[in-house]
Amino acid sequence: MFLTLQANDKRPAYQQIVDGIKALIARNGLREGMTLPSVRQVAGDLGINLNTVAVAYRQLQDEGFVTVRHGAGAVISSRTPHPVDEAELCQPLRTALTELILAGKTSQEIEQTVRRELALLQQTRSCNTEKGGAQ
C-alpha cells in the first residue's frame, strides 16, 4: 500500500502524510490493527527529517486515528463515529469548492466532480472491504 506525496502540493510534508493516511483509512485500505511503518523508516525512505514524520504521527494519534504503543509502533485504532462540529468538518470542503469556482468550473461541473470522487471513494472502500473479508 502506497501513500503519494505530490511535488507541487502547497501543504507541508507532514500534512500530506496525515491526509494521505486518513484517506487510506476512509477507503478501508488501512484497517484497525494494521501497523504503520516506524518514524525512522518513513523518514529514511522519503529523505525527510525524523521530526516531520513524528509530528504527522502525533497529529494522527491526537485525532484518534492511530495508537502509538512502545515497541509495537503506530497501530491503526478502532474508530467509532462520534459527533463532530459540522462547520469545522465542512471547512476543507468550502476551501476546495472555492478553489474549483476560482478555477472557472461551473456548478454543474463541480457537482459532477464531487459525485465522481465520492463514487470512486466508495468503490475503493467496498473493494478494500471485500479484500479484507477474503483475507
Partner 1 sequence: MTAPTDFEVMVLVTVLVVLSLVYSLVRFAWKQPLRNGPGFFLGIEVPAGFYDGPGKQWLTGYRALLVALHLALAVALALCFALKRWNLIPLWCGGFALVYVPAVVALNLWTRHKLGATPPVRAVALSLESRRLGDYISWPTEALFAAIIAASWWLLLRRGVAFDWLPPLQMTWAALILPGKIALVRSGAPLPAERAEEHYRYQDAMRRNAIHAFNAWGWLMLVTLCGFPLRMIWPPASLPSLVWIFLAVFSAVFVCMMIEVWRGMRLAATMGRDLRPAGSWMTPFRGATRQMNRSYLIWFAIWIGGILVVNLYSLLRSYSLVR
Interacting residue ranges for partner 1, rule: CB under 8 A: 1-7, 9, 13, 17, 20-21, 24, 30, 35-38, 40-42, 44-48, 73
Least distance CB 78 / partner 1 (angstroms): 18
Least distance CB 9 / partner 1 (angstroms): 8
Least distance CB 107 / partner 1 (angstroms): 30
Residue among 45 and 111 whose Cβ is closer to partner 1: 45
Cα separation, 80 vs 6, whole angstroms: 30
Which residues lie closer than 8 Å to 76 by C-beta, 6 or more apart? 25, 30, 31, 32, 33, 34, 35, 36, 65, 66
Length of the chain: 135
Task: Tell me how far CA of residue 3 lies from CA of 36, 57, 58, in angstroms.
Answer: 11, 14, 18
Residue among 72 and 102 whose Cβ is closer to partner 1: 72
Residue among 24 and 55 whose Cβ is closer to partner 1: 24
